[in-house]
A and B are shown apart, each in its own frame.
Chain A
Amino acid sequence: MHSFVWKGEPMDKNFWITTEPIRIEQVYKKVVRPQAGAVSTFIGTVREFTKGKRTLYLQYQAYVPMAEKKLEQIGREIAAKWENAETAIVHRIGRLEISDIAVAIAVSTPHRNDAFEASRYAIERIKEMVPIWKKEHWEDGTKWIGDQKEQVSYAKRLPSKEQMENG
């Protein structure tokens, strides 16, 4: 039923970085299972306008082996916080056009509330600590973007000792 494999899609892992276009089915099919009563999915797409400024396209870069490890860590954190949760995450790198999918997340759980909460948790953690960067290409220039959350200073969001050890 879910046997089709798209280009760049790994057979053996739930957390990966790709240069190929993302389809939400790629993460969905990795977590759907009989014990699940809910699969919550999140798709992050390339936005054209930010505070009135027009984006032409984005360039994403990752420290690939570490980024995949950190995505796996997020999966373990979710499994520890929400009972019987399974997670899959894919993030694309390279040049992305407006409305392209940059990230797709799927979390399956027995009941819907946990799936909603856990998928939100996953995207927030990605923005905190997974080594992936985006470069904005505007009509009038370019910039590597950092610290998107901007609620606390970056220095105060260093990973905890526990996170370092669990990594």
Chain B
Amino acid sequence: MPIQTPFHPRTSEHNKNLSWKDWGGYFAANSYDVVNDFEYYAFRHSAGLVDITPLFKYKVTGKDASLFLSRLIVKDISKLKLNQATYCCWCDDRGMVIDDGTVMRFGEHEYFVTAADPSYSWFSRFVKKLDVQIEDITDSICALALQGPTSREILKLMCDADLDNLKFFWTTRAKGDGFEFKISRTGYTGDLGYELWIKNEDALKLFDAVWNAGKNFNIRMSGIAALDIARIEAGLVMNGVDYHSSLHALIPEQMSTPYELGLGWTVNLDREPFMGQRALRAEKKNGSRWATVGLDINWPDLEELYNKHGLPPRTAAGAWRQSIPVYHPQHTTKQIGYATSGTWSPILKKNIALATIEIAYAEPGTEVNFEVMVMHHRKTVRAIVGKPQFYNPERKRSILKNKR
């Protein structure tokens, strides 16, 4: 049975829909209302509040902490500045991705790592004789994500942090009324947003302060279902959905490299040895087999298919996660890849998907065929290949210098 996060007394009050999911062994609200569109729109027009406590969280300390993480992770973590955060992934020695997450530097010798899967055992294998301590703080630190255009204004009302100057992927300490916490300008929505980290004991104080400050800014509780729509629009891949950890994959075909996932930008190849370096070098040189792309699925094509049945076009409510075949530009029986998740994008008014396709067809602008099911019949519609990132508003990175 999943357990409750420290925010449960509040989230359960809001969860009129009684719709809970198991996320990493915790109860997570899937959606707070039967009609959950507004939970998504909050991310894009005001602020959505998500309980992200179930993320696996680790504190890595010790003189060799930088060296240790740099060996483990494809990015050179030692370059991370104090209070800076970074998104990254880590691989096995075949260069196959194990997990992705965020690393934040809270001190000269102190880092904070988040992961989608339990990672203590994997990390521990690399400690060896290094001066490194790994502490699993998953169950002692809890977290809220406040995401959306009004999130900055809300936080400014409830804490002392200088948020106007806090840049994208930087962190700061903050004080509220009777509690301290950490803020990172990070998130899973591709919008302006923050993640708030606090010890379990003060969970409700933080929640209430954020909620009260948000009342005039249309703050809403947002569930996992809404988050899924936003993260697909932002082109953020998900462990267990768009790729599978090589630790859990049963066969090589189920594994992916950072380059194949579109995470090549997180790899710092030319430096001291790190896990997967040799394999990733070879891949960089010889080319990848697969690419992760965004698909813009042709709407008129879909309209026409439905029209033949006398129906208006329709899409799934919310995001979907099945595997859907993607076919060759000309030959609609030759499969060249598969979509792993997708959604109707409410903000772009587009039918979009994240897909893994053969590298030869990954060039932006390539037109491929995408399988759809219309009135119980399998058909194809055209789709344009593009970058996975469909939505990237300027406010995500903007800072408000000298406003006050």
A, B assembled together: no
Residues in chain A within 8 A of chain B (CB atoms): none
